[in-house]
Amino acid sequence: MRAGKVGGAHHEGGDAAAHGRVDVSALVHTRTHHPEAIAEAAVRRARRPLVKENGRLMIVAADHPARGALGVGDRRLAMANRADLLERLCLALSRPGVDGVLGTADILDDLLLLGALDHKVVMGSMNRGGLQGATFELDDRFTGHRPEDIQRLGFDAGKLLLRIDYDDPGSLTTLESTARAIDDMAARRLPVFVEPFISGRTPQGRVRNDLSAEAVTRSIAIASGLGGSSAYTWLKVPVTDNPDDMAQVMETSTLPAVLLGGDIGDSPEDQDAAYEKWRGALQLPTVRGLVVGRSLLYPADGDVAAAVDTAVGLL
């Protein structure tokens, strides 16, 4: 994918997005001389319901860089080239059946300027303070979109990460701040997607999410009970280590849920295996769709459109 020349980012960006070209100099010029163009683009954005008649959602995730998580497989800085990432996002958003995008302010602001968010679901990423590899990784502070930002910009939903370590007293603070964020979103009648994990540290100090059936069940039960109302809470859940366990795991809550993708490896075989895991879980009554990022934006064979189309086909 090569960046090409376009005119003013906030005027001709829609054409650039449609053709997969991103002119960084045009974006920087707009940000430098017309920063108000971002808010203006948000006001102009054509909106749609969160879910359409079929009740399904296909969301492309791109909030990893703000947590310092730039790697895909063994490519440690795969997501570090912003123009390349934006081009991949614009291509993914242009594919039939893709409902929207999840991102932090910097990425969503660029996509607004590029005109890529019309008639799309836009989800703001709320807590990115738990930087990958940091000693404070499990202290997921709310450093991204606030509920008032999501409301002000006319975005459609928020998403937050909830990792609970039973051996870390700080997890209680994380639980409380998560509950208050759910309250704030519900007060605005804005959906919030909660991504819960039971986590811990390896002997080497790395954070590891427990994907056993019991751990995922516990995480769903805990997340479902947070806040003073669950009316606007969705769950964003992983497929368990043994996909056959998912039917029983998803009986834990009546909240609507989407499956997360994660980093699934570097080979086409890994990609195919992930598709099969998603296919089975998508048949469960509470599972309404997919929120997938790196595995679709950076597929092993490099074909973003084909990877996205295959995922859409699973729905």
Helix axes 304-314, 268-281, angle to 10 degrees: 20
Closest CA to 159 of 141, 174, 144, 180: 144
Per the CB < 8 A criterion, the answer to whether 259 and 239 are in contact is yes
Express as a percent the part of the chain with pLDDT over 70. 92
pLDDT of amino acid 263: 64
CATH number listed for the domain at residues 48-314 = 3.20.20.70
Per the CB < 8 A criterion, the answer to whether 226 and 194 are in contact is yes
pLDDT bracket for residue 273 (50, 70, 90): confident
Q: Is the C-alpha dihedral spanning 120, 189, 175, 149 positive or negative?
A: positive
What pLDDT, in 10s, does the model give residues 180-212?
A: 999 999 999 999 999 999 999 999 999 999 999
d(CA 134, CA 205): 10
pLDDT of amino acid 10: 39
Residue 17 pLDDT > 80: no
Per the CB < 8 A criterion, the answer to whether 292 and 277 are in contact is no
pLDDT of amino acid 73: 84
Q: What is the DSSP letter of 27?
A: H
Alpha carbon of 259 to those of 49, 267, 302: distances in Å?
Answer: 20, 21, 23
d(CA 228, CA 160): 17
Torsion of CA 16, 21, 23, 26, to 10 degrees: 10
Cβ-in-10-Å burial (0-12, 13-18, 19+) of 98 comes to buried
Q: Taking residues 120-142, report their average pLDDT.
A: 96
d(CA 239, CA 241): 7
pLDDT of amino acid 133: 95
d(CA 155, CA 139): 26
pLDDT of amino acid 229: 98
Label residue 249 left, alpha or beta by phi (over 0 means left) and psi (-120 to 50 means alpha): alpha
pLDDT of amino acid 20: 61
Q: Structure pTM?
A: 0.92
Alpha helices in the chain (DSSP H): 9-18, 24-33, 36-44, 82-94, 105-113, 147-152, 171-187, 213-224, 246-249, 268-281, 294-297, 304-314
Within 8 A by CB and 6+ apart from 175, the residues are 162, 164, 222, 226
Strands 207-210 and 233-237, sheet pairing: unpaired
Hey, where are the domains in the chain? Answer: 48-314
Q: Taking residues 224-241, report their average pLDDT.
A: 97
